[in-house]
Amino acid sequence: MTSGRLKPRVLLGVSGSVAAYKAVELIRLLRKFCEVRVVLTRAGSRLVSEKVLREASGFPVWTSLFKGSTPIPPGTPGGSHPLAVVPHIEFAKSADMVLIAPASADLLAKLALGLANDLLSTLCLYATCPLWLAPAMNTKMWNHPAVVQNVRTLRQRGVPFLGPENGHLACGEVGEGRFAEPSEIALQVESHFRLFGKWKGRRVLVTAGPTQESIDPVRVLTNHSSGKMGFALAQAALNRGAEVTLVTGPVKLAPPNVARVIGVKTALEMRREVLKAFPKTDLLIMAAAVADYRVRRASRTKIKKARGGLSLRLVRNPDILAEVLRRKKPFQRVVGFAAETDHLEKNAREKWGRKPCDLLVANRVGGGRAFDNDQNELLVFSPNSPRPVRLAKDSKSRLAEKLLGMLDEF
């Protein structure tokens, strides 16, 4: 953020997605910690009124490149260029972030191609601050190869995406494409401004999701972990400016813009990647739900059903966390998780005794809790406190922020 200013400046682009009306709530939340000016596209203006956005932001809404410009007296230096005196250009020049929420499929295409055929796309080429996108559209559009390609292009350029999420869409369908909750977007933006730089230079390794152990070429042993907690932790570390590597089992989530994403399937693959990256890691967060057993010898061909039952011979997988703790150097920090269905505190404390990590984060699983849920509640064991700290039910992003907050001093 430019020094001397009390609040960061966010240029909020609102484009033509049905979720455009949610920008009103987002502006209200963003204004608690930043200055917001709104740029509305022509399609966006059909879905949310300029007047409402003006009321919400407290400032005129910018809709066209030339509207609002002041006439330039002849002979003014730089006056021959229309961009020189227009207020939205002045704001874009000093903005700390351009956030487009919601970002439509059309807007993603313009940004991927570098078009500048309206005010918002022009400002995106002009502004030098980070650009963040929160897309919202129908699932079929989001999965269209053209959109997938544009998203990939933008990600490769380092643009962070907030959402979209899975859920009910305005068109009545259910699927991926739903606009991220305004409170989640505001939380990520706020963390970025408040915390960025705090962990600069720290190398963070996060594991996430389940592992899958093959039974035969079509069947697997796995668990219900969605990877959401691990991904939220990777995002929270990114918000602090850390260099993040994410080792993830098979999940349906788009990864945050971390330095490296390593996809694995089995516990053995996860072990190999973690042990390879660990020597150059300052903080390891083992949020993955690693399968404790694998089939001793997976069948090369599909197992045919036969009369009676089927017995599988299982063997123990290595315990990655236990192994890492044995190799840990004094400068390294390790966070472990404990998933328990019952006697949470007792079982987790016992696990912490066996795997003495710097923080042990316990959560109750089963019955729809924790796994594949956007919310969770946690019990955190730390050597700094005689009793475990209870983190009340909250979104996984907020819990991730709180957990990393507990590691700020390490």
Q: What are phi and psi of 326, to 5 degrees?
A: -70, -25
- Binding of ligand CTP by 338 (CB under 6 A): yes
CB 291 within 8 A of CB 210: yes
Applying CB under 6 A, among 320, 344, 359, 378 the residue interacting with ligand CTP is 320
Residue with tokens 């022509």: 42
> Are 215 and 181 a contacting pair, CB within 8 Å?
no
| Binding span for ligand CTP by CB under 6 A among 49-57, 98-106, 185-193, 313-321 | 313-321
Give the footprint of ligand CTP on residues 348-377 (CB under 6 A).
Answer: 351
- Tell me how far, at minimum, the Cβ of 160 lies from ligand CTP, in Å: 26
Please report whether residue 288 would count as binding ligand CTP according to CB under 6 A: yes
* Annotated active-site residue in 34, 124, 171, 357: 171
Residue 264 in the binding site for ligand CTP (CB under 6 A): no
Q: Which of 267, 370, 404, 406 binds ligand CTP (CB under 6 A)?
A: 267
The yes or no reply on residue 334 touching ligand CTP (CB under 6 A) is: no
Q: Count other Cβ atoms within 10 Å, centred on residue 366.
A: 12
Q: Is 268 exposed, middle or buried (0-12, 13-18, 19+ CB in 10 A)?
A: middle
For residue 165, how many C-alpha atoms fall within 13 Å in the half-sphere facing its CB?
Answer: 16
Residue 319 in contact with ligand CTP, rule: CB under 6 A: yes
Q: Does 65 bind ligand CTP (CB under 6 A)?
A: no
| 171 catalytic per annotation | yes
Using CA atoms, how far apart are residues 92 and 108, in angstroms rounded to an integer?
Answer: 19
Among 102, 163, 249, 336, binds ligand CTP (CB under 6 A): 336
Instruction: Between 192 and 364, name the residue whose CB sits nearer to ligand CTP.
Output: 364
Q: How many residues bind ligand CTP (CB under 6 A)?
A: 14
Nearer to ligand CTP, 262 or 267 (CB): 267
In angstroms, what CA-CA distances link 298 with 190, 221, 312? 48, 11, 9
Q: Which of 161, 179, 337, 371 binds ligand CTP (CB under 6 A)?
A: 337
Nearer of residues 179 and 352 to ligand CTP, judged by Cβ: 352
Contact between residue 365 and residue 341 where contact means Cβ atoms under 8 Å apart: yes
Q: Is residue 381 a contact point for ligand CTP (CB under 6 A)?
A: no
d(C-alpha 240, C-alpha 399), whole Å? 15
From its phi and psi, is residue 177 left (phi > 0), alpha (psi between -120 and 50) or beta?
left
Q: How many CB atoms lie within 10 A of CB 73?
A: 8
Smallest gap from Cβ 345 to ligand CTP, in A, equals 14
Q: Is residue 286 a contact residue for ligand CTP (CB under 6 A)? A: yes
Distances (CA, A) of 259 to 265, 318, 320: 20, 27, 22
Binding to ligand CTP (CB under 6 A) within 187-216 occurs at none
Q: Which residues are catalytic?
A: 171
Q: Which residues sit at the interface with ligand CTP, rule CB under 6 A?
A: 267, 286, 288, 290, 292, 317, 319-321, 336-339, 351
